[in-house]
Amino acid sequence: MPSQSFSNPLRRKLKSGGSTIGLWATLESATVTEVAAELGLDWVCVDMEHGSLGYRDVVDHLRAAKGSDLAMIVRVPTASVDTIKRALDLGAHGVLLPLIRTADELAEAFVHARYPPSGKRGLGHERALRWGMAMESYVAASNEETMVIPVIETADASSNIADILAVPGLEAIFFGPSDLSQSFGHLAVWEGPGIAEDILRMQQLAAARGIASGVIGTSADDIARRREQGFGMIGLGSDVGLMIRQLRAAIEPFRAAPGKSAGY
């Protein structure tokens, strides 16, 4: 019978005070997560908010990480009981919650992610509990080990950040610079005027409470800068985004090279 208790490697690494690196998975192929595990990344976020990924895709990604030290986070499409419960029942180490605007919204999400008496999460016999064979050990550890991470991506969240950070059990927040910019009226940009400064303001407030902050890096230089700024979760990019970045780097010199004449 399975006896190993449920644990979250990302919590351990964040508590050590260093930066962790991760990858955004948007493609159906679980090979993305398998490669991330082989490369020694710290976490993968499987994105259900945008794109076509469903729960079967999530299961495949989670299975690809089994036996590794890779933490698996699922960005659920909404911060609701059904999405949170199903992602956690499938074995995710935590959930990333889009569009959290207030402390009350975040507190409600924690209720869905916690078993009684601190929450209202229903008890199933799904993959997280090893199909019922590790029920006691999983339930004993889950409330502490499962991470609930709000995405700070609206002007309301920025205004309410102090209250959001005060929600009990919060260990990390993640910034969405582009959506945050749009909520302030700066469309189709990564960081509009004043957004970079606002993110650092909120990141420092979080750090003062021992709460880690996360963000996606836009380039190698930006990733290094985010590490220097003290971000605990740094996304290297998405699977598709990294492929495009690498392909562009390879294509541009080829297109700029003068054509060779035919013949020998």
Whether 61 sits among the annotated catalytic residues: the reply is no
> What is the Cα–Cα distance from 239 to 22, expressed in whole angstroms?
11
Q: Which one from 50, 61, 112, 125 is the annotated catalytic residue?
A: 50
**Token couple for 196:** 């970079």
Inter-residue contact 45 to 56 (CB < 8 Å): no
**240 Cβ contact list (under 8 Å, min separation 6):** 26, 27
Sign of the C-alpha dihedral computed for residues 96, 133, 64 and 171 taken in this order: positive
Please give the backbone phi and psi of residue 72, each rounded to the nearest 5 degrees, phi first.
-115, 120
Judge whether 98 and 104 are in contact, CB under 8 Å: no
Instruction: Enumerate the active-site residues.
Output: 50
